[in-house]
Amino acid sequence: MIRIGIDSGGTFTDFVVDRGDGSIESFKLRSNPANPAGVILEGLTKIGATASSEVIHGSTVATNALLERKGAPMAFVTTEGFEDILLIGRQHRPYLYDLTPPPRRLLLPRERTMGVRERIYFDGEIGKPLEGVARLKKRLAKLNVRSVAICLLHSYQNPIHEKQLAEALAGEYNVSCSHEICPEFREFERASTTAVNAYVGPLMDAYLSRLGESIPAKLSIMQSNGGLISAAGAGRHAVRTILSGPAGGVMGALHMARLAGFERIVGFDMGGTSTDVSLVDGVPVETTEAEVDGFPVRIPMLDIHTVGAGGGSIARVDSGGLLRVGPESAGADPGPACYGTGKLATVTDAHLYLGHIKPDAFLNGQMRIYPERSEAALGGIAKRLKITTREAAQGILRVANSNMERAIRAVSIERGHDPRRFALVAFGGGGGLHACDLAAALGMSTVIVPAFAGVLSALGMLAADRVRDYSAGVLGRSAREVERSFRTLEKRAKSEMKGAKLTRSVDLRYQGQSYELNVPGQGDFHQAHEKVYGYQDRTRQVEQVTIRVRAKVATKPLTGLPKVAKATGHGPALLPEYGSTTLIPKGWSYRRDRYGNLLIERGQRQAVGPQA
């Protein structure tokens, strides 16, 4: 059976094909933001996909709809008196010293938020029955909305009123209920997650339906937690695909690093529009407290930090005369100046001008690029700064490196991890061009550029397992009630994920704390607390807030990776490959392992693998 991983990115759409005969192949096509499905169909035609093929797709549809505020027109329904929950939020001030901060960009206007009379108490008891459903339907009919997010007070304890509303609205709207999307404690985070799902869900569902009807293969979708889900499931729970592509990169980086003998890594994925960094200390780090463009998304997802620094990041001189790079990107259209249609200088143009990218080797010569256009665009920057064009190009790379270094520090040093104990796994089209400079700045001695570095996110999708997460709020419940809730989740998981391996975990906290730590079923909360916060107190009472069950079905292992002869060398060196280029400075040595990974080391080798 042919298995195909597809990562639909901002600049290129990547394809990795495992034909099951011991060989893996890959290629890239230029993305088309206006018609991403068309590019996918073009690639599948090139591959020769059939009905027996399996396609695993990392989609940016939900992400782009949220970031660009192009989601479906929606309404938000909550308990009467709490209509402003999405507007008020937690009253955090991201711009602490700004007296005129920009307003939050909301997903819907205030007039599309409405309350219904009902009340469920904190323990699940019904305080007031649901009223006014007919009146609500009349109001919705006047709003011309496609979807409705329903988040009633304490519905995670008793969802009966949400179910009644959903039944009344079924068939007329795409309905997202908080007890299905995020059945957890904390009303704002629950409301935000449900609203995001309702906002991007109709677009994701329509996209996957069209794609499913067009492609002659079984379709699965990459989730933000690093696991696969069915296309139908992704349509209903689109919020779980917000970090779909980057999650594939994490799984691909871990897969290739393990083949090279490393378990402790920092993933560094530099694409065309952004850079995604993540830390893996044996296993990928997960979070349920992620925030996407200002909106809390309370679902399990890999802990990935994203910055607007990619190959297409636009360089400019601001009003104060300072050089800036990103977060705006030239994307796929018009792209960097050297692509032939763009006019603005980007990071890719700086690399091309400095000789780090060979024009005749770009995508193995399959795509023509124009060095003279890069020089002209960079010349405009240089003129404004009153420096040479070469100095402008070098300055652009230094600024981009600074942005990316801060991102790596955010997932390592700021969270108690010493980056010197980790290997930097660099991938994406531009990762290898910046990796050694970043590693040196952070004191890291080992860089790994995996085989298939330019398409590693798509490769990671083929290496990912099928995963489904289930959760339930249990704050204030007895031990017997908690066990009963666990069994209910496990029964549901077994029915929806045949043959899955189930694992339990619990979100715990000391009584009086505001936030929790997720601990495996047999784990020690006190030890986990000390590791994160530096102290523990076994005399304090521990509360169970949320229980979680993960269902996992292992996927078939990849059947082939490039078997190459070992080669060694010393920098400076420039190693172009299909879809990526690696720049090795002086003072670094490199070699290839038998899986095609490029292992780069600085100075005296230090132990950074599993033995560290």
The mean per-residue pLDDT over the stretch 314-338 comes to 88
**Does 224 lie in the same domain as 349?**
no
**Does 478 lie in the same domain as 447?**
no
Residue 439 forms part of a structural domain: yes
Directed axis angle between helix 371-385 and helix 389-411, to 10°?
A: 90
**Does 377 lie in the same domain as 261?**
no
**Does 535 lie in the same domain as 488?**
yes
**Does 185 lie in the same domain as 91?**
yes
Our separate counts of H helices and E strands in the chain read 16, 32
Write down the pLDDT at residue 1: 81
Domain extent for 165: 71-204
User: pLDDT tens, 15-25?
Assistant: 999 988 878 88
Domain CATH for 226:
3.30.420.40
**Does 301 lie in the same domain as 277?**
yes
Length of the chain: 612
The mean per-residue pLDDT over the stretch 144-168 comes to 96
**Does 568 lie in the same domain as 532?**
no
Write down the pLDDT at residue 67: 79
* Pairing assessment for the beta strands 568-570 and 588-592 based on DSSP bridges: antiparallel
Cβ neighbors of 601 (< 8 A, separation 6 or more) are 445, 446, 447, 588, 589, 590
**Does 171 lie in the same domain as 93?**
yes
Write down the pLDDT at residue 564: 63
The amino acid at residue 585 is: P
Q: How many CB atoms lie within 10 A of CB 278?
A: 28
Q: What is the rounded CA–CA span in Å between residue 582 and residue 171?
A: 53
Residue 456 forms part of a structural domain: yes
pTM of the model: 0.88
**Does 477 lie in the same domain as 590?**
no
Q: What is the rounded CA–CA span in Å between residue 112 and residue 173?
A: 14
User: pLDDT tens, 210-248?
Assistant: 888 888 789 999 999 999 999 999 999 999 999 888 899
Residue 562 pLDDT level (bands cut at 50, 70, 90): low
What is the percent of the chain where pLDDT is above 70? 97
Measuring CA to CA, which residue among 498, 492, 501, 496 is closest to residue 472? 492
Residue 609 forms part of a structural domain: no
- Cis before 109? omega within 30: no
Average pLDDT value for the chain: 90
Residue 316, pLDDT above cutoff 90: yes
User: pLDDT tens, 163-217?
Assistant: 999 999 999 999 999 999 999 989 999 999 999 999 999 999 999 988 888 887 8
**Does 583 lie in the same domain as 448?**
yes
Write down the pLDDT at residue 611: 38
Measuring CA to CA, which residue among 484, 424, 485, 450 is closest to residue 558? 450
Q: Residue 90, class by beta-carbon neighbours within 10 Å (0-12 exposed, 13-18 middle, 19+ buried)?
A: exposed
Q: Enter the tokens of residue 154.
A: 């304490």
Residue 610 forms part of a structural domain: no
Residue 362, pLDDT above cutoff 80: no
User: pLDDT tens, 102-127?
Assistant: 777 889 999 999 999 999 999 899 99
Write down the pLDDT at residue 317: 94
Residue 273, pLDDT above cutoff 90: no
User: pLDDT tens, 433-491?
Assistant: 999 999 999 999 999 999 899 899 999 999 999 999 999 999 889 999 999 999 999 99
Residue 527 pLDDT level (bands cut at 50, 70, 90): very high
Q: What is the rounded CA–CA span in Å between residue 262 and residue 280?
A: 10
Q: What is the rounded CA–CA span in Å between residue 580 and residue 456?
A: 11
47-61, 158-172, 394-408: least confidently modelled range = 47-61
Q: What is the rounded CA–CA span in Å between residue 142 and residue 134?
A: 13
**Does 333 lie in the same domain as 194?**
no
**Does 434 lie in the same domain as 473?**
no
Q: How many domains does the chain have?
A: 5
- Long-range contacts of residues 386-392, Cβ cutoff 8 Å, at least 24 apart: 389/353, 390/353, 390/354, 392/315, 392/323, 392/345, 392/350
Residue 612 forms part of a structural domain: no
Residue 608 forms part of a structural domain: no
